A = this chain, B = another copy of it.
């Protein structure tokens, strides 16, 4: 929607030309609060996958969800929104949870077994469904900062984050609005149309499983940026079938392993875009089931965002998405 990306083919870069912005430091960290045995260093677990009968906050777990140690928003309090002179202020209500993806000190989801990724997806969906019941929240943002250049803090332990928000994120609103406009015009989902065209042309498809496609999107902002989309139309990540969930862990394992091998464990962010909570399917949300299509963005952090991008909202990408997709198709995933 009005976003332009400059694919600077004169600067075209193959994966081996990207120097990591900072070398990955994936060694052990004895004081890591997310490792097995250090459960006391985090607040008590909210949700956990552990054998029946083992004590809460003890060491026998495989995936663990805990409140953030340094939350950006707090869950207590009433939602308030008022004017302050020319400006608007709101109380910082929200929830900030950490999904610890493994009891071992592994630095990236790329190195977790497929079954472990499946468990992470399970607990993630359960947490979002639970947060949906709090009427103060409009959206839960699921994301991952892996590696320093992706904004990860001191600890390198593989984890995802959930932030429940009392407002719909502006970036999602833009996406919803664009999808709505397309739907009004064509009476079709724009993401379904993109999927059909891409699966026909096979230029930008990096990976495909029974239920999912990983695409290097046309005019992608960042080198090796990927979108993972369900083939079957659906607005809601949390309404996946059990079979789709298994298949999603499969494609994530393959594509993250390939990125890890091709780009030497690059720093990356993942961001889920799914429909906001809608307690009544009325008003603006009336057609969202039809016009929006959830997807997961995977963004390796290989270039820096600088004045041009900040000032214009446009992006410069030195790797054409067609080359990124072809390269990933030709890469063997790590074992």
Contacts from A to B (Cβ < 8 Å): 2-4, 6, 8, 10-11, 70, 72-73, 85-87, 90, 92, 141, 143-145, 148-152, 161, 163, 165, 167, 169-174, 190, 193-194, 197, 201, 218-219, 269-273, 297, 299, 304-308, 310-314, 316
CB pair A313–B171 under 8 Å, yes or no, is yes
Give the docked Cα–Cα distance between A197 and B269 (Å): 39
Q: What residues of B have a CB within 8 angstroms of the CB of A86 in the complex?
A: 190, 193-194, 197, 218
CB contact under 8 A between A311 and B169, given known A70-B11, A197-B85, A316-B72: yes
Q: Are A307 and B150 in contact (CB under 8 A)?
A: yes
Cβ–Cβ contact A312 & B2, under 8 A: no
Known: A311-B141, A313-B169. A73 touches B6 (CB 8 A): yes
Nearest CB of chain B from residue A157's CB, rounded to whole Å: 16
Task: Please give the distance in Å from A288's CB to the nearest CB on chain B.
Answer: 18
Query: Whole-angstrom distance between the alpha carbons of A197 and B161 in the complex?
Result: 38
The reply to whether B219 and A87 contact each other, CB–CB distance below 8 Å, is: yes
Interface contact A269-B304, CB-CB below 8 Å = no
Q: Return chain B residues, CB-CB under 8 Å to A270.
A: 307
Q: How far is the CA of A72 from the CA of B304 in the complex (A)?
A: 15
A307 to B, closest residue via Cβ: B143
Does B2 contact A170, Cβ atoms closer than 8 Å? yes
Specify which chain B residues have a CB less than 8 angstroms from the CB of A4 in the assembled complex. 90, 167, 170
Q: What is the minimal beta-carbon distance from A203 to any residue of chain B, in angstroms?
A: 10
Q: Which of A73, A163, A308 has the most CB of B within 10 A?
A: A308
| Chain B residues positioned under 8 Å from A273 (CB to CB) | 311
Instruction: Give complex CA distance A6, B68 in Å.
Output: 16
Considering the complex of A and B, which 10 residue pairs feature the smallest CB-CB distances, nearest first? A151-B306, A143-B307, A171-B313, A169-B312, A271-B311, A170-B313, A151-B304, A269-B307, A145-B306, A145-B307
Task: Give the Cβ gap from A146 to chain B, nearest Cβ, in Å.
Answer: 9
* Chain B residue with Cβ nearest A73: B6
A305 CB contacts on chain B under 8 angstroms: 151, 305
A312 vs B313: C-alpha distance when bound (angstroms)? 15
Shortest distance between the CB of A106 and any CB in chain B (Å): 19
Report the minimum CB–CB distance from A7 to chain B (whole Å): 8
Q: Are A308 and B87 in contact (CB under 8 A)?
A: no
Is there an interface contact between A310 and B306, defined as CB atoms closer than 8 Å? no
> In the complex the two chains form, what is the Cα distance from A270 to B311 in whole Å?
9
List 8 A-B residue pairs with CB atoms under 8 Å apart, sorted by A's residue number: A6-B92, A143-B307, A143-B308, A143-B311, A145-B307, A150-B306, A171-B313, A271-B307
Closest CB of chain B to A314's CB: distance in Å? 6
| Smallest beta-carbon distance A128→chain B, Å | 14
Taking CB as reference atom, which chain B residue is nearest A148? B304
- Contacts A151-B304, A151-B305, A170-B312 aside, 17 further interface pairs with beta carbons under 8 A come to A2-B170, A4-B90, A4-B167, A4-B170, A8-B72, A10-B70, A72-B316, A141-B308, A143-B307, A143-B311, A150-B306, A150-B307, A152-B306, A169-B314, A171-B313, A269-B306, A271-B311
